[in-house]
Amino acid sequence: MANNAPASRPANPRFSSGPCAKIPTFELSKLSDAALGRSHRAAIGKEKLKAAIEETRDILGIPADYKIGIVPASDTGAVEMAMWSLLGARKATMVAWESFGSGWVSDVVKQLKIDAEVKEAGYGEIVDFTTVDFNTDVVFTWNGTTSGVRLPNGDAIPADREGLTICDATSAAFAQDLPWDKLDVTTFSWQKVMGGEAAHGMLILSPRAVERLESYTPAWPMPKIFRMTKGGKLIDGIFKGETINTPSMLAVEDYLVALDWAREVGGLTGLMARADANAKVIWDFCEQKDWIANLAVDPATRSNTSVCLKFTDDRIQDGAAFAKAVAKRLEAEGVALDIGAYRDAPAGLRIWCGATVQTADVEALMPWLEYAFEAEIAAQG
């Protein structure tokens, strides 16, 4: 059978899982209002930082009594700041089912040397949250970006838990419904679902998390960029835009522009619907083909942002080489950039479907996927 290249191609081939595609209306001229060359402590800088915090609260529906801070070192900075500041007061449970979650396990067990209970599942699977003791402090990732497996909801997290829940939600925020009453610490970074510029992390604290910060001092030294309290009190300014150290005002402006766009597409509901529609295109495609499948075993846990796929055809001789060749071919054709599986994940593809990706582009990519698959099968000889 002749394997002809499809006639149409995605208008935007950017399907990377971070930095993710910019908002569809992006132009550099939209950043012209940035407070460049001005102090972030000047009124203009502080207003923009505060606006980024309050717009985030509004769009994500974060309760008024939760604190939201813009912190250094992207999502990793926010997660590590939380773990270093809060853990050690009671027993901890580390829950992981892919690479980023495993990174937090390693931080806690090897660096902080906390004797935590570690609950792990392999790529494609998820840990059963009903087996987790929420009277311990529990650290987990909402959406496993490298396996495409997400927590479907927070039902297993009890409202009357004694421990804190610390949730890395970087590839979930703005695309998945996060139950704020079940989350004491939530983190994310701007370059994911909002297609913002990478630089800063968002750290969201429940009143219980603040209470812990004000009543507990960890035994280990605390670097300046992790310090959230002074004299046993929360440094409230951090949560009003008075950042610990210097932020990028260009990145702040870009995030504000993305938040404006989020409103234009219907706020959180609109953003979630866009990610859902994008992911559904791929899920439906996989249903129709017997050579490709979602890495997520349970459909209820399939991510609508980082959709991870595996090739299942018996004719494939070397799985890793095959998947790499498919991704390379699609990149060379200019139809899909950066869609190889994460380096530690099983061989396959990962196609970002967050809100900034256009559904028409995902649709246009599917015939190319088949084209590249058939071309590589033929190339194996």
Ligand X SMILES: Cc1ncc(COP(=O)(O)O)c(C=O)c1O
Can you give the binding site for ligand X, defined by CB under 6 A? 18, 74-76, 100, 141, 145, 168, 170-171, 189
Residue closer to ligand X by CB (options 195, 368) is: 195
Residue closer to ligand X by CB (options 145, 278) is: 145
Residue closer to ligand X by CB (options 209, 308) is: 308
**Nearest alpha-carbon partner for 126 in 157, 107, 91, 101:** 101
Residue closer to ligand X by CB (options 72, 241) is: 72
- Residues 6 or more apart in contact with residue 122 via CB below 8 angstroms: 97
**CA diameter of the chain:** 74
Residue closer to ligand X by CB (options 173, 372) is: 173
Q: How far is the CB of 73 from ligand X (least distance, A)?
A: 7
Q: How far is the CB of 54 from ligand X (least distance, A)?
A: 22
* Contact between residue 256 and residue 55 where contact means Cβ atoms under 8 Å apart: yes
**Nearest alpha-carbon partner for 355 in 306, 299, 285, 290:** 306
| SS3 of 46-67 | HHHHHHHHHHHHHHHCCCCCCE
- Report the b/e string of 287-315 with b at 16+ CB within 10 A: eeeebbbbbbbeeebbbbbbbbbbbeeee
Q: How far is the CB of 187 from ligand X (least distance, A)?
A: 8
Residue closer to ligand X by CB (options 171, 356) is: 171
Residue closer to ligand X by CB (options 150, 161) is: 150
Residue closer to ligand X by CB (options 173, 323) is: 173
Q: How far is the CB of 172 from ligand X (least distance, A)?
A: 8
Joined together, the tokens standing for residue 214 give: 């004000």
> Which residue type, as a one-letter code, is found at position 36?
L
Q: How far is the CB of 76 from ligand X (least distance, A)?
A: 3
* Contact between residue 173 and residue 1 where contact means Cβ atoms under 8 Å apart: no
**Nearest alpha-carbon partner for 166 in 134, 124, 128, 214:** 134
How many Cβ atoms sit within 10 Å of the Cβ of residue 38? 13
Residue closer to ligand X by CB (options 139, 316) is: 139
Q: How far is the CB of 139 from ligand X (least distance, A)?
A: 11
**Nearest alpha-carbon partner for 292 in 308, 275, 276:** 308
Q: How far is the CB of 175 from ligand X (least distance, A)?
A: 12
- E strand intervals along the chain: 67-71, 92-96, 117-120, 137-141, 143-144, 149-150, 165-168, 185-189, 201-205, 229-230, 233-234, 292-294, 306-311, 349-352
Q: How far is the CB of 255 from ligand X (least distance, A)?
A: 13
Residue closer to ligand X by CB (options 137, 168) is: 168
Q: How far is the CB of 272 from ligand X (least distance, A)?
A: 18
Q: How far is the CB of 7 from ligand X (least distance, A)?
A: 34
**Nearest alpha-carbon partner for 367 in 113, 68, 9, 118:** 9
What is the side-by-side strand order in the sheet with 165-168? 67-71, 201-205, 185-189, 165-168, 137-141, 92-96, 117-120
